[in-house]
Amino acid sequence: MGCFQLVAGAAAVGIAASAAQAAWGLKYEVSPNGASWGPSIGVIPGGTVYFRMSAYFDPGTKVTSGSGIGNALVLSRFTGQQKISGAVAADSVTNVVRLAPNGNAALLNVSFSSSNILIGTTSATSFASFLVTDPTPYLGNPQTIMPILQGKLTLSADPTPRTLMVRNSTFGVGNSNGLNFYSDVNPPVAESGPPVDTPNHTDLNATIELKNSTCVSPTINSVGGGGSVAPSQSAVFSVSATDGAFYEWLKNGVVLTESSRIIGVGSATLTVHDPYPSDSGSYRARVYNNCGTPTLSSPVLLSVICGGDLNRDAMVDDADFVVFVQAYTQLLCPVAPDPCPADLNLDGFVDDGDFTIFASQYNDLLCPE
């Protein structure tokens, strides 16, 4: 059975104006499911692969604007077109969506020309942007990678060996630069512009290669973690697999989403920081090989004990009682995904049932190690 192998490689476009300048440009990633992203993947003929394009910059990238030169903070605008070269007419791209908060519909236009699938147009209206009025929140935490668009590529059933490349086709149009970033040159005024070495960018491209080889399903060797944790601790899960290329974690059968607390949903190690009672449940890893064939692990159970530790200091004391009373007066928990830590019995309300649980833990005072 044939197998597509997608291998990411760095294609340097231009040469940096100075060795001291940091790298910046466009990054392409692929996924078997649109949730777990990585640098390489493959699909069997007739299968699908998701692709994503992001803007990135290394810390220290310099941006020039009206007030001078500053450090890049966050994406301002991308203008241009993408392409998947080496395609055949039976290959198709669908589900193209803009991930940047603003932009024009031309960015998502899909067409076929010769052996290229084109995404976007060569017009200045083919753009995506991120509008910032005050760059101050990014001064201590620059957003160094910013997803711009995502789509799904469906391959034809033709097993003929061929190579496809996902990459940039047009970088900037007319007076519109390929990439502009906001900078720290004059906060709180939001000023944007191109990196100092404007003509140069380093793109991370992806290559899809059709191979006549058998795709072996992953073998899961072990999965561990879970157990009982307190809110002041972290829950760590791990999976070891042979022929594993992509990873996906599920809780109670639902695919997890990366957040500030839940880290590594697309890797071999999943960490749940600052766990809430609602994080309790059954966790499983889904492991994909390079051809997108999945294997599901056995379940690992997590129990969050000492849920009454609402301020996460490893004790249930008067400070937690104050937090509980504030939640008790609200009664109804906020709409997900906002946490509702005082809902200790997970019924969507903070009421007398939760107070009974809280009181029993309050008497214990110290959370177990």
Is residue 253, in this structure, part of any structural domain at all? yes
Do 233 and 134 fall within a single domain? Answer: no
Contacts of 105 (CB under 8 A, 6+ apart): none
164 found inside a domain: yes
DSSP state of 233: S
Same structural domain, 112 and 224:
no
Please tell me whether residues 243 and 291 are part of one structural domain.
yes
- Res 179: pLDDT: 96
Q: Is residue 14 part of a domain?
A: yes
Say if CB 244 and CB 38 are below 8 A apart: no
What pLDDT, on the 0 to 100 scale, is given for residue 189?
93
The greatest distance separating any two alpha carbons of the chain, rounded to the nearest whole angstrom, comes to 73
Q: Are 239 and 222 in contact (CB under 8 A)?
A: yes
Domain CATH for 32: 2.60.40
Question: Residue 326 phi/psi, 5° resolution?
Answer: -60, -40
In the sheet with 262-263, reading across from the earlier edge strand, the strands are: 219-225, 235-242, 269-272, 262-263
Distance CA 233, CA 299 (A): 21
Quick one: 156 and 31 in the same domain? yes
CB 104 within 8 A of CB 132: no
Q: DSSP letters of 317-335?
A: SHHHHHHHHHHHHH-BPPS
What does the block give as tokens for 136? 């101050």
198 and 241 in a single domain? The answer is: no
Q: Decide if 311 is inside a domain.
A: no
Identify whether 309 is part of a domain.
no
User: Do residues 197 and 126 both lie within one domain?
Assistant: yes
The per-residue pLDDT string of the chain (369 residues; one tens digit each, 9 = 90 and over) reads 344 333 344 333 333 333 346 899 999 988 878 877 777 666 678 878 889 999 999 999 999 999 999 999 999 999 999 999 989 999 999 999 999 999 999 999 999 998 999 999 999 999 999 999 999 999 989 999 999 999 999 988 887 778 888 999 999 999 999 999 999 999 999 999 999 986 789 999 887 776 655 667 889 999 999 888 888 789 999 999 998 878 899 999 998 888 888 998 888 999 999 888 889 999 999 998 877 778 999 999 998 888 887 787 878 888 888 888 888 877 767 655 556 778 877 777 888 888 888 888 887 766 766
The pLDDT score that the predictor gives to residue 214 is 60
Residues 6+ apart with CB under 8 A from 199: 14
Give the per-residue pLDDT at 289: 81
Within a domain: residue 264?
yes
Total domains in the fold of the chain: 3
130 & 49 share domain? yes
* Domain assignment of residue 310, yes or no: no
Two tokens, residue 260: 């500030």
Domain CATH for 263: 2.60.40.10
Q: Do 45 and 20 sit in the same domain of this protein? A: yes
Residues 287 and 244: beta-carbon distance below 8 Å? yes
CB count in 10 Å sphere of residue 214: 9
Query: Do 224 and 189 fall within a single domain?
Result: no
Domain finish residue from 188, 211, 234: 211
| Cα–Cα nearest to 7, from 29, 36, 25 | 29
39 and 59 assigned to the same domain: yes
| DSSP line for 201-254 | EEEEEEEEEEE-S--PPPEEEEEEE-EEE-TTS-EEEEEEEET--EEEEEETTE
**Is cis: bond before 337, omega within 30 of 0?**
yes
Structural domain boundaries enclosing 331 = 318-364
Helix (H) or strand (E) holding 361: helix 352-364
Query: Both 179 and 195 in a single domain?
Result: yes
**Do 262 and 251 contact (CB within 8 A), yes or no?**
no
Q: Which of 211, 246, 264 is the last residue of a domain?
A: 211
The set of residues, in sequence order, having a beta carbon less than 8 Å from that of 356 and lying 6+ positions away, is none
pLDDT computed for residue 164 by the predictor: 84
Q: For residue 118, is it within any domain? A: yes
* One domain, residues 139 and 284: no
Of 211, 238, 268, the residue at which a domain comes to its end is 211
